[in-house]
Structure 1
Amino acid sequence: MNIIDLFSGAGGLTEGFRTNEFNILNHVEMDIAAAETLKLRDAYYYLKNNNKLDLYCQYLTKKINHDQLFSNIPLDQQNKTLNQEINSDTIAGIFSTIDDEIAKNNIKNIDGIIGGPPCQAYSTVGRARNKSKKDSDERIYLYRYYIEFLKKYRPKFFIFENVKGLLSFKDQFDEPLLPKMISEFNEAGYHLEKQIIDSSKYGVPQKRERLIIFGTDGSIEPSEFFKELNTLHETPNTVGELFQDLPELHSGQEVNSYSNRKPSKFVQANIRKTAEVPLTQNIARPNQPNDLEIYKLIADAKNKGINLHYNELDKKYQTHKNKHSFLDRYKALDSNAVSHTLVAHICKDGHYYIHPDVKQNRSITVREAARIQTFPDNFYFETSRTSAFKQIGNAVPPYLSHKFSKAILNLYK
């Protein structure tokens, strides 16, 4: 089944469709670092399929540089990712590039379109801040470009992912946006069903609720997708189980070697599945001494079942003026439960994701964040630690996406 991936990010949603039954024709992503990650991931799969993974390992260990790696990757693989913003000026050119790809590969039909426009405009967190920008915020209406792709390529199905804040979001006319969106999808010839999906019910070690809209051209009833998806429930790992084979390290350290502890069955089957690829990006941020003192207190309290709030700390630690809101600005993970929702703000600081082990006294590493999102350990995020955290926080968990692809195959086979 041929897929076009829009607003791709680092490729979390794409990753679940990277099976023999699907062909990812193109990714379209405006962020430069995320686009580089997508290109590298396509390179990884090309090298894996051609028994050349040693080149990928040499790149990860800095034995060869970017240009040396990609000199071994065919241009058609490199050009799968279109690093472009989708807007009125670029969409015709994007269509033209994809059309060339379709013709070159003698593809008769596009079967599916997946992706979700940037969610910041709909998020309840930034809603008050963005209220004054509604008249000029083009992000609100990016879904209309998604609809243009549906009209152009007429796929059998589409998956549209976004934050659940979209359910209550009001447009510049102070009217609910979602009913208008649904009407526009219907006018384009698509039936759809929507549902809030909690990733933790599908084996993802994270409480993460997102709005999933599944649409079809009438070939099947869209409600069947969610019925099929509900047969794929799975108990997730706890954070402790997810991290148990990773090394101990401290604030500011990077340790790219596994510990002697055995990985959980889930990690062995889904996270550490390519033994020859070395561990990477297991790097923790350096922290200020005051923050580290707070981390100890927060993590210790969490291990006793207590969520310690900022205004409950000793006054000597309270350096922020705001002591009335965001009182859980420091938050530790619970070893005996799934993680709370991982969001892109982790690229700014790690205060909301303190490691549960008090002895390590740090926020989580890039690799640990990736594991919470169920990215395999062989997945590398370009181009910096900050951009890696941002890409991870914005992603759809690949393990959840794999459940999406499995449900679709079960319906269409």
Structure 2
Amino acid sequence: MINIVDLFSGAGGLTEGFRGSEFNIVSHVEMDKAACQTLQVREIYYHLKNNNNLNNYNEYLAGNLSFSQLTSSVPESITNKIINLPICEEHIQSIFNRIDAELSDNSVHGIIGGPPCQAYSTIGRARNESKKHEDQRIYLYKYYIEFLRKYSPDFFIFENVKGLLSYKDVDGNLLFPKIEKDFQNALGENSYVLQHQIINSADFGVPQKRERLIIFGRKPSFNGFNFFDDLSHFKTNPPTLNELFYDLPIMKNGETNNDYRPVEPVEFVKKFIRTEEFPLTQNISRKNNLNDLEIYKIVVQEKLNTNNNLKYSDLPQELIKHKKSNIFLDRFKALQGDSISHTVVAHISKDGHYYIHPDINQNRSISVREAARIQTFPDDFYFENSRTAAFKQIGNAVPPLLSKAFGKVIMNILSGS
């Protein structure tokens, strides 16, 4: 059994790739309460699945069982895996103690995760420049290294935005070489061998252009392989959004519709997304005002006609309500049905203007479940505890289908295949 500790877990997209008989998720560490509730529900799902007793989970999805009733139906050891604390100086020893209690003297073989990425993102970098000296998020990676020192895992996977490669520290020098050196020397000089690469999730079957920096570290004793060369064997083409959404119900803005269409889902959805024994959940769309709905129609029509995104300043004058119409010109963006999505980010929790449904007749932004499908979360994955919280967790996540490729590479490496 390969013991994994998951840091900065979010909703657990990265850990979805490390599920199964070979891996044991020892602990998730996450500061957001709603995301921790999501993690608890997912741990319960796997516990019940492994015991061939998913009835309570089904009842929960159907609304016949409360959150507290669901959590009380399993041993506390299942939900105790989730540690709802920020990773910081104040709490790190408490986190270590909780993980140690779960380990029962066993080793940690792998650490996975990545700290919040807003500090490194190229979006808003100029705005955040003045706060750089006091922005503690910049150095959260140092706490990640504290976990490496404490548990000395055989490998680790660190995920973040590609902007980290160009981010400059307070001294004006690139931060990434410093991070590399700190990782390499976490257990003493030359303790970890590092590889890093920008990965596009779309290359691994995720119907979304999502580029992220992946750092893979291993102890020198695990030699003779290249993580990213092995990962390339799992490349595959993603479905289009029309294919991805084909079996989901047609609905208008402000509606909730949790009834699958009476059609055969495409093979991708049958293989990775849909589980027949569970009801559809969280297919919730936002309510929009009439002005936004008129804009949605125009933006989608432009996308259909020219494959371009209409600039805000090019809208009919009577629909332009923002005084500064010459900035944020791409504030409305339609998805393209015969292609894949642009990157789903946490801002989707604030509004859906950047993710307008490709079907002009539905005239709405995408639902929670549609966003989750774009990220390749299976339909049986339930997000706590509100629509806004669900969108935020989805936008921050590593796509599970990509993480499954990570898990397969690790499994092949450790099994010597």
Give TM-score scaled by structure 2 length.
Answer: 0.96
Structure-1 residue corresponding to 2:8: 7
Q: Distance in 2 between matches of 1:247 and 1:223?
A: 45
**Distance (whole Å) between structure 2 residues aligned to residue 229 and residue 236 of structure 1:** 16
**What does the per-residue CA deviation read over 1:173-230, in whole Å, with 9 as the maximum and x for residues that have no partner?**
2211101111111111211111000000010000000000000111234971001001
Letter in 2 for 1:252: G
- 3-state SS of paired residue (1:215): strand
Specify the alignment match of 1:289 in structure 2.
Answer: 290
> Residue 40 of structure 1 aligns to a residue in which SS?
helix
Of the three residues 143, 146, 158, the one matched with 1:145 is 143
- Residue 135 of structure 1: SS of its match in structure 2? helix
Shift of 1:52: 2.2
Unaligned runs of 5+ in 2: none
Could you say which residue in structure 2 is the equivalent of 1:162? 160
2:50 counterpart residue number: 49
User: Aligned residue for 1:372?
Assistant: 374
Q: Where do 1:211-250 residues align within 5 Å?
A: 211-221=213-223, 224-250=226-252
Deviation digits for residues 322-346 of structure 1, max 9, x if unmatched? 2223211100110111110000000
The 2-side partners of 1:222 and 1:379 are apart by: 37
Residues 1:333 and 2:309 are matched in the alignment: no
> Which residue type is aligned with residue 391 of structure 1?
Q
| 1:8-57, Cα deviation, whole Å (9 max, x unpaired) | 00000011111211110000000000011001100111111222212112
Runs of at least 5 residues in structure 1 that lack an aligned partner in the other structure: none
Distance 1:176 1:322 in 2: 34
Give 3-state SS (helix, strand or coil) of 2:313's partner. Answer: helix
Equivalence for 1:30: 31
What letter matches 1:44 in structure 2?
Y
Question: Where does residue 344 of structure 2 map in the other structure?
Answer: 342
For residues 12-411 of structure 1, the aligned pairs below 5 Å read 12-103=13-104, 106-107=105-106, 109-188=107-186, 189-221=191-223, 224-272=226-274, 274-304=275-305, 305-411=307-413
Q: Distance in 2 between matches of 1:100 and 1:313?
A: 59
Paired amino acid for 2:158: F
Q: Please give the alpha-carbon distance, in whole angstroms, between the structure 2 residues aligned to 1:65 and 1:101.
A: 27
Q: Distance in 2 between matches of 1:223 and 1:321?
A: 56
Structure 2 SS opposite 1:134 = helix
Query: Which has the higher mean CA deviation after the structures are superposed, 19-28 or 384-393?
Result: 19-28
Quote the Cα distance in structure 1 between the aligned partners of 2:390 and 2:55.
23
Q: Structure 2 CA distance, aligned partners of 1:86 and 1:205? A: 32
TM-score (norm 1): 0.97
Structure 2: distance between partners of 1:8 and 1:306: 36
Q: Is the 8 A contact 2:58 2:278 kept in 1?
A: yes
Q: Which amino acid aligns with 2:120?
A: Y
Query: Residue 61 of structure 1: CA displacement?
Result: 2.0
Aligned-partner SS, 2:281: coil
CA distance in 2, matches of 1:129, 1:74: 47
Aligned length: 409
Shift of 1:67: 1.6
8 Å contact kept, 2:225–2:413: no
Paired letter, 1:260: P
- The RMSD of aligned alpha carbons is 1.1
Q: Secondary structure at the match of 1:113?
A: strand
Distance in 2 of aligned mates of 1:216 and 1:364: 40
Contact 1:193 1:222 in 2 (8 A): no
What amino acid sits opposite 2:168 in the alignment? K
Aligned-pair CA distance for 1:267 = 0.5
User: Percent identical across equivalent pairs?
Assistant: 58
Q: Equivalent residue of 1:94, what SS?
A: helix
Name the CA distance, whole Å, in 1 between partners of 2:49 and 2:279. 14
Alpha-carbon spacing, 1:234–1:351, altered in 2? closer, same or farther (3 Å): same
SS at match of 1:254: coil
Which residue identity lines up with residue 407 of structure 1 in the other structure?
V
Mapped partners of 1:339, 1:322: distance in 2: 27
One-letter code of the match for 1:149? F
**C-alpha distance in 2 between matches for 1:309 and 1:102:** 54
Following the alignment from structure 2 to structure 1, what is the Cα–Cα distance between the partners of residues 323 and 218? 51
CA distance in 1, matches of 2:343, 2:71: 35
The residue type equivalent to 2:24 in the other structure is N
Distance 1:216 1:324 in 2: 49
Partners in 2 of 1:158 and 1:115 — Cα distance? 8
CA contact under 8 A between 1:250 and 1:362: conserved in structure 2?
A: yes
| Alpha carbons 1:193, 1:223 under 8 Å: kept | no
